[in-house]
Amino acid sequence: MLILGIESSCDETAAAVVEDGRRILSSVIASQIEEHRIYGGVVPEIASRRHSEAIVGVVREAMEQSGKTWKEIDAIAVTCAPGLIGALLVGVNFAKGLSLSTGLPLIPVHHLRGHIAANYLTSPDLEPPFLCLVVSGGHSHIISVKSYTELQVLGRTRDDAAGEAFDKAARAMGIPYPGGVELDKIAEGGNERAYRLPHPKVEGAPLDFSFSGLKTAVINLLHNASQKGESISVPDLCASYRRAVVDCLTENFQKAADETGAKKLVIAGGVSANRLLRREVAALAEKTGRTLYMPELSLCGDNAAMIASQGYYEFLAGNTAGMDLNAAAQCDIAQRPAVGRKL
């Protein structure tokens, strides 16, 4: 079965054609990062406009690169939640138009379910059940993936997401957006024991995360140093900060793995590209005799191949949508998006 996937939840306009949820025939991504960089973060209004401009070309390119005709495509999958509402609406409405004109089924896909599915593309042998750490710019979840479409959130962040925590701390250190990526590179050359930073815990919820205090600790440290005229080693601070964030993630991930007895560990989302996180979860899996799956680096960030992959499994589960499909800025990963009636 061939699925055309469409993604526009944040600052990447993407389209891809994927076969049977596992084989990428084409994947095209138009990034807007350069344009948002001068503002230090994604400007929603600009994101929506750029998606509108890019989407026709990106879908056309994905179709051309796949070598398939519209007659050979079986369904259209689109990210409908969560994300920036104006950005999501561009993809959703475009997909509805395509579905209407071609008569192909329309499949709504939860963006984070898509991130998890990036692993189905990377590892053809991976099948649920497994335990997944989903870490992106907007979310940090520990999820029990019981089947392709049945997911249970075991832990979540109470404030900032891991990616957001990296980006905000990087910004405080003067590293341009998206700082998480650059902070990770700089940290490789730093001493992670140079600065003592807290490892915040959430009282009564051992699997939940809290990163805002850690970010504030870095901002205070930078303020105090500048008031005293002391210099800060950016590589050392990046390394110490990255160590603290990754420790919080892996400690809770291990607790969840122990509690659930999970044999397979999976990571997903933009932050799953983080070098230290990849090394630490690999060590955790090795130490505890579990199998680890990680998305290949090109599939960690936002792309449409992961949406087409998850779309395949949503389709098999009967989760298609009608012409009144709407986008939602927020949506629990455990729930099916509100798909409305078939019109």
- Interacting residues toward ligand KG4 by CB under 6 A: 10, 115, 136-138, 163-164, 166-167, 178, 180-181, 184, 269-271, 273-274, 301-302
Rounded to whole angstroms, how far apart are CA atoms 91 and 11?
12
- Smaller CB distance to ligand KG4: residue 98 or 306? 306
Measured from the CB of residue 78, what is the shortest distance to Zn ion in angstroms?
Answer: 14
Rounded to whole angstroms, how far apart are CA atoms 31 and 269?
16
Map tokens 């990377």 to a residue: 122
> Which of 12, 167, 192, 302 is in the footprint of Zn ion by CB under 5 A?
302
- Smaller CB distance to Zn ion: residue 160 or 302? 302
Tell me the angle at which helices 179-187 and 275-288 cross, rounded to the nearest 10 degrees: 70
> Which of 136, 144, 210, 272 is in the footprint of Zn ion by CB under 5 A?
136
Residues 10-69 touching Zn ion, rule: CB under 5 A, are: none
- Smaller CB distance to Zn ion: residue 54 or 285? 54
Residues 208-267 touching Zn ion, rule: CB under 5 A, are: none
Q: Does 119 bind Zn ion (CB under 5 A)?
A: no
Edge to edge, what strands does the sheet with 150-156 contain? 150-156, 140-147, 130-135, 264-268, 291-293
Tell me the angle at which helices 234-260 and 212-228 cross, rounded to the nearest 10 degrees: 160
Give every CB contact of residue 183 below 8 A, 6+ residues apart in sequence.
166, 169, 170, 173, 175, 238, 241, 242
The count of chain residues that interact with Zn ion, using the rule CB under 5 A, is 2
Among ligand KG4, Zn ion, none, partner that 167 touches (CB below 5 to 8 angstroms by kind): ligand KG4
- Smaller CB distance to Zn ion: residue 164 or 192? 164
Q: Under the rule (CB under 5 A), what is the footprint of Zn ion?
A: 136, 302
